Every structure is written in C-alpha cells, then in structure tokens.
C-alpha cells in the first residue's frame, strides 16, 4: 500500500463529503425556513453515518449546528 497515495485519496473523498454535506444542509435549512418549519434560531442535531461496506464497519458521527 502506498501510504501517501492512500492519504491523498482519503482527503479527496472527505472533501467531496464535506462539500456535498454543506450544500445539502444549507438547502434543507433554507427550505425549512421558507416553509415556516424553522424560525432561524434553532440548534439542529446532526448525525452522519460512515459506512465501509467491505470492512463491515459503521461509525456514527454526531454533533450540532446552531443557526445563530
């Protein structure tokens, strides 16, 4: 295994995950605000599940995002 290449591939994947996640969160919050489902001062509970199928490994990463 080439550790440097492996590390670069992980970083590339995580960049894609980060950009996609941010876009989805922003869109969901904007839509909820427009529909009146959110007021704009909430703290949203978040959870991402990382699943590595070939390794039968699943990890939940939890946190919060405040809208203020």
Which structural domain, as residue segments, surrounds residue 10?
A: 3-66
pLDDT of residue 52: 98
Q: What distance in Å separates the CA atoms of residue 42 and residue 65, rounded to the nearest whole number?
A: 9
pLDDT of residue 20: 98
pTM (predicted TM-score): 0.89
Q: Give the chain's domain count.
A: 1
Q: What share of the chain is helix, strand, coil (3-state, %, to 5)?
A: 55, 30, 20
Distance from the Cα of residue 9 to its chain's centroid:
18
pLDDT of residue 36: 98
pLDDT of residue 40: 97
E strands, 1-68, are: 43-52, 57-66
pLDDT along the chain (68 residues), means of 10: 98 98 98 98 98 98 98
Polymer length in residues for the chain: 68
């Amino acid at each position: 295994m080439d550790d440097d290449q492996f590390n670069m591939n992980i970083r590339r994947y995580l960049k894609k995950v980060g950009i996609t996640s941010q876009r989805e969160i922003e869109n969901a919050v904007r839509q909820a605000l427009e529909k009146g489902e959110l007021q704009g001062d909430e703290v949203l509970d978040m959870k991402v599940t990382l699943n590595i199928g070939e390794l039968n490994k699943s990890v939940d990463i939890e946190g919060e995002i405040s809208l203020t």
